[in-house]
A and B are shown apart, each in its own frame.
Chain A
């Protein structure tokens, strides 16, 4: 029932003028973050929908493309990201319970894990570049045209022959696949790789933004801005980071594990 601008409660320095209380401010900010995450769900959702339609349409090519990326690195990256989500949750908890030193260490831990994830991602991207699996008219932009028949890799010329792999796996289950048919399927993996790079690329872009946010949070945390009275930025940063983790939780099985049992690790 406060009708005056100057309320009787003490005025926290982080309280913005349009809010009546810290509680209302935190409530509104958290809700705002969730509405923003709603837009993120829809943005990634558009990509997932398109992915799903092409996965149905070009299933053999998606299997071949998926088999050609390294599942072990994807698996390790999933674990790295889950660890980082745990450390992030702990950082938020430390802020909530006014543990100033601890929140700094957990933030640093989260940033290290996030960087490890991006490092592994960069290695995977480089492998695909080395094997000439970057889709599109790559030779105009990055100097290596798309090639699924092998002999392109600078490190190991046996790498990257998707066409041969398709025929080998078919032969294992005593099927006969003509070279033309295998070549055609291999060529269609371009669409798989388009989605692979678009989806992991958008995800990595979010990770980079997330690392920027964490840097900002770390700077504020070292100045002792966050305690049990005011930790909204930490909470919001945490929500963002966990969301990016969730996207990866879906990307891992969808991109790395399409009919893995037919291929190898």
Chain B
């Protein structure tokens, strides 16, 4: 079975998880975490492009100030569907369910996740939720914004709120099961010698994100259930007309949805923590700090939610506390950025595609994070609340951060997943095009927001047109950067260079097994004796904090 020869020209292993068995049943009933990851990859790619089309239509519409393309009602539906698809059906499952599912069990040195059947169930739940979402979209969509604020969503609007809420509820359980699986796997399934201090940082950050999935998602489930009940039976839980309190909906919604931002960004940070040391040929600077900052983000992330509600009429004292706590959550994020740059410092940095994405991540995430501090400031938020400043801020974190990290991770582990290299030149081009297009799209929106252009409006005063045209131009460049990988990844499946076990000369257990890995990941369960990131052992100069 073990015929992986290590000759100068690498060859594909004879048997691996992709050719172990064939047929549609072997995929749809698989319990192999790697195949489930591939299933997730295909499904979230579909939703990424659906969400992308909505985004493109929004930007096209905003070319002109008076909104000639769509009616206001259609526009509302467009941005709602864009948000819902991108957040619940792409960003939240992106890195954990695709890359995490694929590499996390291999990284900790086990044959599979703790509960393979539950892992498969989680994919089916995703598809179930996605089906509801598609039905809701096809039958006319929802026009509440992705936040579903009551009483707008519970009584006044005509869209298919209940269908969409059910879809999100179901997809929420999919993410709960992924998180549950990761937590149990990390605690109970590590290979001999894989101590907590030797866990790769990608595992640490996915573990932290899993904590949020498990603790936060049930709250959005119950909130959306109450919303659906209120809409269906007209009971007064959120609708002030019936005695309810709309701000309570916001509390409960953001109790999940703010930490959910960290579900989206933490696994991305994990990807960057893997890529940066590998392409700097250096140990990660301050391993323990990076590891614990993930946990700190997960914990602090739960106590800042009301900074989304400063103008919603909450108590000023409460707002003050939430504002201060929001500053606290910036510290662990800053620790990470500091440690990544310190890792690169004096390293022999190689500009391969994953590293380009990682460097883009660090820059864009820093801008996104720092503008987040503006918004967390109680006084300033009143000025820029619900403007394009907010839109630009979270797109810097979500697209500039998370999508960039996801693309970086996909390039980094693509040879491991498929056994073949992607073509380097178009990949670099795509990375650069994405970076330029992204900044051109969203930087003008900071200025627009600061000048007072409100978000979610279908028309705007003519003096904002120049910046909006710039933004739309950027979006068209950005779309090229996202479509290009689709083609060369597919191309590489057949024509890509055979990668070999470890094309990046990276550390970590996933690079010790064959590419693609065998169905049970390892021919022999490894025994771990080294720290992670033992790059350039002989020229070690930076002390590692333990």
A and B touch in the complex (CB under 8 A): yes
Which residue numbers of A lie inside 8 Å of B, CB to CB?
1-5, 16-19, 24, 27-29, 31-32, 35-36, 38-47, 49-50, 53-54, 57-58, 135-138, 141, 187-188, 190-191, 194-195, 198, 202
Given A42-B215, A42-B219, A44-B222: 13 more A-B contacts, CB < 8 Å: A17-B112, A29-B115, A31-B187, A31-B188, A32-B118, A32-B184, A39-B214, A39-B215, A46-B218, A136-B235, A191-B235, A194-B229, A194-B235
B-chain residues with CB within 8 Å of residue A3 when the two chains form the complex = 524-525, 527
Q: Which residue of B lies closest to A16 (CB)?
A: B116
- Residue among A31, A36, A43, A57 making CB contact with B245, cutoff 8 Å: A57
A-chain residues with CB within 8 Å of residue B235 when the two chains form the complex = 135-136, 190-191, 194
User: Given A38-B214, A50-B237, are A190 and B527 also a contact pair (CB < 8 Å)?
Assistant: no
Q: For the complex, give the distance between the alpha carbons of A75 and B249 in Å.
A: 32
Q: List 22 A-B contacts (CB under 8 A).
A: A1-B192, A3-B527, A17-B112, A18-B113, A18-B189, A28-B114, A35-B183, A39-B180, A39-B215, A40-B218, A43-B218, A46-B218, A46-B219, A46-B252, A53-B245, A136-B235, A190-B236, A191-B235, A191-B242, A191-B243, A194-B229, A194-B236
B416 CB–A CB distance under 8 Å: no
Q: Which residue of B lies closest to A45 (CB)?
A: B219
B-chain residues with CB within 8 Å of residue A187 when the two chains form the complex = 243
Which residue numbers of B lie inside 8 Å of A, CB to CB?
110-116, 118, 176, 180-181, 183-184, 187-189, 192, 214-219, 221-223, 225-226, 229, 233-237, 242-245, 248, 252, 255, 520, 524-525, 527
Q: Which residue of A lies closest to B220 (CB)?
A: A46
A-chain residues with CB within 8 Å of residue B527 when the two chains form the complex = 1, 3
B-chain residues with CB within 8 Å of residue A53 when the two chains form the complex = 245, 248
Query: Which residue, B217, B218, B219, has most C-beta atoms of chain A within 10 A?
Result: B218
Is A194 touching B237 in the complex (CB atoms < 8 A)?
yes
Q: For the complex, give the distance between the alpha carbons of A137 and B221 in Å.
A: 24
Q: Which residue of A lies closest to B217 (CB)?
A: A39
Is A198 touching B226 in the complex (CB atoms < 8 A)?
yes
Is B233 touching A18 in the complex (CB atoms < 8 A)?
no
Q: For the complex, give the distance between the alpha carbons of A262 and B499 in Å.
A: 78
A-chain residues with CB within 8 Å of residue B223 when the two chains form the complex = 46
Is A137 touching B245 in the complex (CB atoms < 8 A)?
no
- Residue among B187, B222, B243, B524 making CB contact with A188, cutoff 8 Å: B243
User: Given A17-B520, A58-B243, A136-B235, are A32 and B218 also a contact pair (CB < 8 Å)?
Assistant: no
Q: For the complex, give the distance between the alpha carbons of A183 and B189 in Å.
A: 61
User: Measured between C-beta atoms, what is the minimum distance from A54 to chain B in Å?
Assistant: 8
Q: Which residue of B lies closest to A20 (CB)?
A: B525
The 9 closest A-B pairs by CB, nearest first: A43-B218, A136-B233, A18-B112, A46-B222, A194-B235, A42-B218, A28-B188, A136-B235, A46-B219
- Residue among A2, A38, A135 making CB contact with B233, cutoff 8 Å: A135
User: Given A188-B243, A190-B235, are A5 and B520 also a contact pair (CB < 8 Å)?
Assistant: yes
A-chain residues with CB within 8 Å of residue B225 when the two chains form the complex = 198, 202
- Residue among A36, A41, A47, A190 making CB contact with B180, cutoff 8 Å: A36
Is B222 touching A27 in the complex (CB atoms < 8 A)?
no
Q: Which residue of A lies closest to B105 (CB)?
A: A18
B-chain residues with CB within 8 Å of residue A2 when the two chains form the complex = 525
A-chain residues with CB within 8 Å of residue B525 when the two chains form the complex = 2-3, 5
B-chain residues with CB within 8 Å of residue A16 when the two chains form the complex = 116
User: Measured between C-beta atoms, what is the minimum distance from B193 to chain A in Å?
Assistant: 10
A-chain residues with CB within 8 Å of residue B221 when the two chains form the complex = 43
Query: Which residue, B184, B187, B225, B226, has most C-beta atoms of chain A within 10 A?
Result: B184
A-chain residues with CB within 8 Å of residue B114 when the two chains form the complex = 18, 28, 32
User: Measured between C-beta atoms, what is the minimum distance from B70 to chain A in Å?
Assistant: 34
User: Given A28-B189, A46-B222, A46-B252, are A39 and B176 also a contact pair (CB < 8 Å)?
Assistant: yes
- Chain B, interface SS category: helix
B-chain residues with CB within 8 Å of residue A17 when the two chains form the complex = 111-112, 520
Is A18 touching B229 in the complex (CB atoms < 8 A)?
no
Is A4 touching B524 in the complex (CB atoms < 8 A)?
yes
Q: Which residue of A lies closest to B112 (CB)?
A: A18
B-chain residues with CB within 8 Å of residue A136 when the two chains form the complex = 233-235
Q: Which residue of B lies closest to A53 (CB)?
A: B248
- Residue among A31, A44, A50, A194 making CB contact with B184, cutoff 8 Å: A31
User: Measured between C-beta atoms, what is the minimum distance from A141 to chain B in Å?
Assistant: 7
Is B111 touching A50 in the complex (CB atoms < 8 A)?
no
Q: Which residue of B lies closest to A47 (CB)?
A: B222
Q: For the complex, give the distance between the alpha carbons of A55 and B181 in Å.
A: 37
Q: For the complex, give the distance between the alpha carbons of A42 and B189 in Å.
A: 26
User: Given A137-B233, A137-B234, are A35 and B214 also a contact pair (CB < 8 Å)?
Assistant: yes
Is B236 touching A191 in the complex (CB atoms < 8 A)?
yes
A-chain residues with CB within 8 Å of residue B248 when the two chains form the complex = 50, 53
Q: For the complex, give the distance between the alpha carbons of A43 and B116 in Å.
A: 24
Is B215 touching A191 in the complex (CB atoms < 8 A)?
no
User: Measured between C-beta atoms, what is the minimum distance from A176 to chain B in Å?
Assistant: 24
Q: Which residue of A lies closest to B192 (CB)?
A: A1
Q: Which residue of A lies closest to B229 (CB)?
A: A198
User: Given A17-B112, A17-B520, are A35 and B180 also a contact pair (CB < 8 Å)?
Assistant: yes
User: Measured between C-beta atoms, what is the minimum distance from A40 to chain B in Å?
Assistant: 7
Is A46 touching B255 in the complex (CB atoms < 8 A)?
yes
A-chain residues with CB within 8 Å of residue B245 when the two chains form the complex = 53-54, 57
Is A32 touching B524 in the complex (CB atoms < 8 A)?
no
User: Measured between C-beta atoms, what is the minimum distance from A224 to chain B in Å?
Assistant: 23
Is A50 touching B236 in the complex (CB atoms < 8 A)?
no
Q: For the complex, give the distance between the alpha carbons of A191 and B239 in Å.
A: 11
Q: For the complex, give the distance between the alpha carbons of A202 and B219 in Å.
A: 14
User: Measured between C-beta atoms, what is the minimum distance from A151 to chain B in Å?
Assistant: 23
Q: For the complex, give the distance between the alpha carbons of A17 and B116 in Å.
A: 10
User: Measured between C-beta atoms, what is the minimum distance from B230 to chain A in Å?
Assistant: 8
A-chain residues with CB within 8 Å of residue B192 when the two chains form the complex = 1
A-chain residues with CB within 8 Å of residue B226 when the two chains form the complex = 47, 50, 198
A-chain residues with CB within 8 Å of residue B188 when the two chains form the complex = 24, 27-28, 31
B-chain residues with CB within 8 Å of residue A41 when the two chains form the complex = 218
Q: Which residue of B lies closest to A193 (CB)?
A: B235
B-chain residues with CB within 8 Å of residue A195 when the two chains form the complex = 237
Is B243 touching A190 in the complex (CB atoms < 8 A)?
yes
B-chain residues with CB within 8 Å of residue A40 when the two chains form the complex = 218
User: Measured between C-beta atoms, what is the minimum distance from B120 to chain A in Å?
Assistant: 13
Is A18 touching B111 in the complex (CB atoms < 8 A)?
yes
Q: Which residue of A lies closest to B216 (CB)?
A: A42
Q: For the complex, give the distance between the alpha carbons of A96 and B237 in Å.
A: 45
B-chain residues with CB within 8 Å of residue A29 when the two chains form the complex = 115
